[in-house]
Structure 1
């Protein structure tokens, strides 16, 4: 069934969340070309309103959108992002009707406690922390990075 999906799937994730960032790192490492794109909603340039959501709504659960504009959230976003990365086998339990209510409950619980898990180690912690102070590096638009690269090459 998922082979017929309208790829790519764009996954909207919170890069500030240590657990979320670990999952995204795994998914990026396995992502099937042209099947899975990533958007970090914690990036200062991200505008949830442009998508018809508030930032709080985007933070409240995982969101993903297929190329045809269909949105999926929560466990479905997790399932399809893992499938798009070629790791669908590991997410198969999310399709089992007998487990789905329990998994939905667990997911809602995770979403409630997720903001309180910021103390967990972030996968990018080494590059985010200097002199006992940690911060997310400022993002640059791709055009600025390309301009900087061109200037360095000339």
Structure 2
């Protein structure tokens, strides 16, 4: 895809998504600081407009940007983030042309279902609880700018 990588790769992810957060937790454990950086788009400090995107665009699929400004999205963002973390072997099937259409279809399906998966256990669930009360994000459409929290 690229002849020369311009590290680091900055990965823009939705930290409110339980499945996404699990993948990021794995990547963080293996990531080398100067090769892979993380930005949680669900953070109140995140500004999609500063990157010339809308929040909805950033939330619709995984985005990553190389240090030279080149963007990759979707499965390519997954592939390059796993390579940046030294786990490229596990992402190798994403490069196989014979499987790529099926993987693209599965990824698009996941992206459509992802907002409705907020009920799944989050890997940071303990840090979301204070005084025996936990904030659990509700399912949200892509048009919401900020995550909505529901108190139990």
- TM-score between the two structures when normalised by the length of structure 2: 0.85
Match of 2:89 in 1: 89
SS of 1:53's partner is coil
Structure 1 residue 135, shift from structure 2 partner = 5.3
Once residues 93 and 133 of structure 1 are traced to their aligned partners in structure 2, the CA distance between those partners, rounded to angstroms, is: 38
Match of 1:124 in 2: 124
Bigger proportion of residues as helix: 1
Aligned pairs for 1:1-154 within 5 A: 4-130=4-130, 131-134=132-135
Gaps of 5+ in 1: 137-154
Once residues 56 and 6 of structure 1 are traced to their aligned partners in structure 2, the CA distance between those partners, rounded to angstroms, is: 27
Once residues 17 and 94 of structure 1 are traced to their aligned partners in structure 2, the CA distance between those partners, rounded to angstroms, is: 22
Counting matched residue pairs gives 136
Structure 1 residue 83, shift from structure 2 partner = 0.1
Distance 1:3 1:127, change over 3 A: farther
Once residues 118 and 65 of structure 1 are traced to their aligned partners in structure 2, the CA distance between those partners, rounded to angstroms, is: 26
Kept in 2: contact 1:2–1:83 (CA 8 A): no
Alignment RMSD, CA only?
A: 1.6
Structure 1 residue 92, shift from structure 2 partner = 0.1
Once residues 61 and 10 of structure 1 are traced to their aligned partners in structure 2, the CA distance between those partners, rounded to angstroms, is: 14
Larger displacement relative to structure 2 (127-136 or 31-40):
127-136
Structure 1 residue 133, shift from structure 2 partner = 2.7
Once residues 50 and 26 of structure 2 are traced to their aligned partners in structure 1, the CA distance between those partners, rounded to angstroms, is: 28
Once residues 14 and 127 of structure 1 are traced to their aligned partners in structure 2, the CA distance between those partners, rounded to angstroms, is: 17
Once residues 76 and 18 of structure 1 are traced to their aligned partners in structure 2, the CA distance between those partners, rounded to angstroms, is: 21
Structure 1 residue 129, shift from structure 2 partner = 2.0
Report Cα offsets for 1:54-108 as digits up to 9, x if no partner.
Answer: 0000000000000000000000000000000000000000000000000000000
Distance 1:37 1:132, change over 3 A: same
The structure number with the bigger radius of gyration is: 1
Distance 1:70 1:86, change over 3 A: same
- TM-score between the two structures when normalised by the length of structure 1: 0.84
